Chains A and B, each alone.
Chain A
Amino acid sequence: MARITFVQPDGSENVVNIDSGTSVMLAAIRNGISGIDAECGGCLDCATCHIYIDESHSGVLSPQPEELELLSSVAAIRKPTSRLSCQLKLPPSITALTVHIPGAQS
């Protein structure tokens, strides 16, 4: 179980608990977090679940080539901390993570 803090562009926060193995995207969709569209449901088709990982975190696995290809097409500014949240699953060693939601997904 991990605590994910979603930070909206206006600074407001929502906290959601997720099981390890569940993607950050699915946790957001299931719990009604705004700003993550995830049109394709996590099959690397759409790049609409873009988030920024809080810079204080390390130990999250790096993106795979397919994800990197889609990250080049995200609607908001791409940063070194950019990830597609559908590909972001947390190892049991991470119990808390803060992610920032960009202003646009498409």
Chain B
Amino acid sequence: MSGLVVVGASYAGIQAALSARDSGYAESITVVADDHLLPYQRPPLSKDFLLDKVKQDGLVLRDDAFFKLKQIDLILETRVHAIDRRARQLSINGSTTLDFDKLFIGTGSHARRLTIPGSNLDGVCYLRSIRDAIDLKERLRNAAEIVIVGGGFIGLEVAASASKLGKKVTVIESASRLLERSVSPVVSQFLLDLHTRHGVDVRLNEGVAEIEDRNGLAGVVRTRSGARLRADLVLVGIGGVPNDQLARDAQLNCTDGIVVDDHGLTSDPAIYAAGDCANHYNAHAQGWLRLESVQNAQDQAKAAGLAIAGKTGPYDSVPRFWSDQYDAKLQTVGISRNFDRQAVRGSLEDGQFSVFYYRRDKLCAVDSVNRAGDQMAARRLISGGVSPTPEQAADLSFDFKTLLTTIKAVGA
């Protein structure tokens, strides 16, 4: 067997295999994954799955029928130990090898571990895989008080879910505001108010010093400022670390993830990578980025799949994220970092607004809460390089379609 070998049945891995096949790649395609399950959806793990609104069966993303139709071989429960670049061969499960003409690495990321006294105690949890989610859900059932370390997407989504389940929730965040790396201060403040209103105790500028043992389990979280918080369960969401060991061992160029170009190509012309494990130069951010999002995984892998099939379609999508917390749907497009002007459309009080960010008079990002229409327009505006004036953005009666028509005319 040679052809294309994909490591990881992740969003990126499956998308790369699919795009290669759909773009005319005629050789064999094999996906190797250490997981024991068919590819599954991850975003619901922190939300509907914890709330029991969707069961494990409902999370399946690609069924056997998909693999059969697309003629993609899926090999589960198989770990890749090393890449032999010269022989174009993987060593798997210790003693076996697998040849490849092209290799795609979609190994994702893992949760950054907390390293303080007591952080190895039973009851200190992370959320990344379905295994983590099953464990967390089970433990949540019997927990009354929960401490969440980290006010990022995972921490806040679990806070919302746990609070809906009637738990007493405390969120500890070391920065001065929530989601600091992803949204602007206005949105951080909105989220702080939202969580506070739902009874979540959010402590900013605070760290965790120690987790104290209670009968062999995590029992009390001692903060840096000296507070002692009872906890039946501690959920840690302090960011992700790329799974790039395989690539580093093979001497592929890596810096906070596997370095790739806009076709997902690594420093080896036969090896591609995309998704959480890859680091790319992002024109919209004007810098190197490693993004952890479904959109990035899929779009970047699509570019790699095309390249593997000998076609070209470079990755240049505007980064997008979304998050659901209580009744707020947060959507964001673009990179708001270093913005110098903003305009608010809608009402923060009503929980329906968008914030438009400008860098040197150019629209660079839009965050929306329960304003999906704005968000859809914003995606087209930013990718088309068209900026409404801040006054137009703030004017609810202004219809972005008048500007979008210009884009279509230009593109036609």
Contacts and interface: CB of A to CB of B under 8 A. Distances in A.
Nearest to A23: B58
B69 A32 contact: yes
B372 A44 contact: yes
Nearest to B72: A32
Interface stretch (B60-68, B161-169, B275-283): B60-68
Interface of A: 16, 22, 29-32, 34, 39-41, 43-45, 47, 66, 69-70, 72-73
23 contacts: A22-B58, A29-B62, A30-B65, A30-B66, A31-B63, A31-B65, A31-B66, A32-B18, A32-B66, A32-B67, A32-B70, A34-B22, A39-B298, A40-B322, A43-B324, A43-B329, A45-B322, A45-B329, A45-B331, A45-B372, A47-B376, A72-B373, A73-B373
Q: Which of B58, B295, B324, B372 has the most CB of A within 10 A?
A: B372
A66 B294 contact: no
B83 to A, nearest CB: 28
B285 interface: no
A70 B372 contact: yes
A32 B62 contact: yes
Given A30-B65, A31-B63, A32-B70, A39 B329 contact: no
Q: Which 3 A-B pairs have the closest CB atoms?
A: A73-B376, A32-B66, A30-B63
Nearest to A29: B61
Nearest to A45: B322
Given A39-B295, A43-B43, A45-B322, A31 B69 contact: yes
Given A30-B66, A45-B372, A70-B373, 6 more contacts: A30-B65, A31-B65, A40-B294, A41-B44, A44-B372, A73-B373
B377 interface: yes
Contacts of A39: 294-295, 298
A66 B368 CA distance: 14
B2 interface: no
Contacts of B324: 43
Contacts, number: 58
A31 B18 CA distance: 12
A104 to B, nearest CB: 12
Contacts of A66: 372
Q: Is the interface of A mostly helix, strand, loop or mixed?
A: loop
B41 interface: yes
Contacts of A40: 43, 294, 322
B46 to A, nearest CB: 12
Interface string B1-28: 0000000000000000010001000000
Contact of B376 (A16, A30, A43, A70): A70
A38 B230 CA distance: 42
Interface string B367-378: 000001101110
A79 B373 CA distance: 18
Contacts of B70: 32
B322 A43 contact: yes
B60 A41 contact: no
A85 to B, nearest CB: 15
Contact of A30 (B62, B294, B331, B377): B62
Contacts of B61: 29-30, 41
Interface in B303-340: 320, 322, 324, 329, 331
A45 B18 CA distance: 22
A29 B281 CA distance: 30
B275 to A, nearest CB: 14
Contacts of B18: 32
A41 B322 CA distance: 11
A29 B60 CA distance: 10
A19 to B, nearest CB: 9
Q: Which of A45, A47, A66, A73 has the most CB of B within 10 A?
A: A45
A41 B43 contact: yes
Nearest to B48: A43
A34 B41 CA distance: 19
Contacts of A31: 63, 65-66, 69
Contacts of B65: 16, 30-32
Q: Which of A16, A30, A34, A66 has the most CB of B within 10 A?
A: A30
Given A30-B61, A31-B66, A73-B376, A44 B43 contact: no
Nearest to B298: A39
Contacts of B295: 39
A34 B22 CA distance: 9
